Amino acid sequence: MLIAIDAMGGDFGPRVTVPAAIRALQDFPDLSILLTGDEALIKPLLSRCHPHLLKRISVQHSVIAVAMHDNPKHVLRSQKGSSIHLAIQAVAERRAEACVSAGNTGALAVIARYLLKMYPGVSRPAICTMLPAQNGECLMLDLGANLACDAEDLYLFALMGSAMAEVMQHKQSPKVGLLNVGEEELKGTEVIQHAAAIMSQQSLVHYSGFVEGSDIFSGQVDVIVCDGISGNTALKTSEGVVRFLFQQIKQAFMQSWYSRLVSVLVRPVLKRLKRSLDPERYNGAVLLGLQGVVVKSHGAAESEGFYRAIVHAQRAVQANLCQKVGDKVRAKQ
């Protein structure tokens, strides 16, 4: 399997993406990687790589790196040779089976939509990620690609999220919740009310009603659907809370001589806890609805996180995710 990696994306570029790629090659003997980006920055990082791994890496040179604040449509029109563009193009031309980028999300979505095309009935990719939950995991979409959604969009997200939970997490008839400001039937906007009505009357997804932000981590449902603003807000808020809590824990253990003493003993337990909740572990959101696997890594991901995104892309290819999502969407029509 060949995965194309936009080596320039994210806050750290090749310094993070190249070591992650090398680690993935070490761990998965059937994997090959195409790195797109500035050879002058990438090649030195490959110098320490074992020759037998080097054989499975190729580099496609590009000096155009898309910035985080670049306008996606402008990028599509005028930066055709960018590292993001080349990585997606490799998938479009079937040279690669998936692509991974930590770059500008909007540009990634716009270029992927243009080069890979959507499945009929889907207008824009939906960003879907896995979040930790009590007794398992929960998928959530959309996380920011679709800011304004109508009821049909939300139903589409439910279909695509269900397909992903089925093939990637082996859940039979995954439960889908619709994010709302309350669980009572009357709550929510017209769009949410309409989406609930649509989902209550179909049989392609196992719709289980409204959920609230607090249910994301409770394990009550397997998939949560919402518009991109709510999803993005929920995702980033939860990142913020985790960071804040660990700061508070650290401070709590510095407050007295007793707590400082205990903190030495407790360190291994907290370290394990932190590792199990580390956002890096859950890094790698899939752009669903595209006719090809595109995985978005968090821009701030370190090497561990970017490695997870590569593994995620690989698993999506193995599970034939895109095809299954396309089938589910087609069944609706």
Which chain residues interact with a copy of itself by CB under 8 A? 68-69, 71, 132-134, 144, 147-148, 179, 181-182, 184-186, 188-189, 212-218, 226, 228-230, 232-245, 247-249, 252-253, 255, 258-259, 262-263, 265-266, 268-270, 272-273, 276-277
Q: CA 212 to CA 151: how far, in whole Å?
A: 18
Q: CA 1 to CA 130: how far, in whole Å?
A: 23
Calculate the CA dihedral of residues 79, 83, 85, 88 and round it to 10 degrees.
180
Q: Is 3 helix (H, G, I), strand (E, B) or coil?
A: strand
In the complex, the smallest distance separating the C-beta of residue 226 from a copy of itself, rounded to whole angstroms, is: 8
> Is the torsion defined by CA of 262, 268, 269, 274 positive or negative?
positive
Cα separation values, 243 from 10, 124, 138, 208, 237, Å: 20, 32, 20, 31, 10
In the complex, the smallest distance separating the C-beta of residue 209 from a copy of itself, rounded to whole angstroms, is: 13
For a copy of itself, the closer of residues 185 and 327 by Cβ is 185
In the complex, the smallest distance separating the C-beta of residue 286 from a copy of itself, rounded to whole angstroms, is: 18
Burial class (CB in 10 A: 0-12, 13-18, 19+), 102: buried
For a copy of itself, the closer of residues 134 and 333 by Cβ is 134
The closest of 135, 91, 138 to 115, measured between CA atoms, is 91
In the complex, the smallest distance separating the C-beta of residue 287 from a copy of itself, rounded to whole angstroms, is: 15
For a copy of itself, the closer of residues 74 and 330 by Cβ is 74
In the complex, the smallest distance separating the C-beta of residue 272 from a copy of itself, rounded to whole angstroms, is: 6
Could you tell me how many helices (H) and strands (E) the chain has, helices first?
A: 12, 11
For a copy of itself, the closer of residues 54 and 241 by Cβ is 241
For a copy of itself, the closer of residues 202 and 248 by Cβ is 248
For a copy of itself, the closer of residues 39 and 212 by Cβ is 212
Per-residue b or e along 237-270, where b marks 16 or more CB atoms closer than 10 Å to that residue's CB: ebeeeeeeeeeeeeeebeeeeeeeeebeeeeeee
In the complex, the smallest distance separating the C-beta of residue 89 from a copy of itself, rounded to whole angstroms, is: 24
For a copy of itself, the closer of residues 54 and 147 by Cβ is 147
And the tokens for 179? Answer: 């994010």
In the complex, the smallest distance separating the C-beta of residue 189 from a copy of itself, rounded to whole angstroms, is: 5
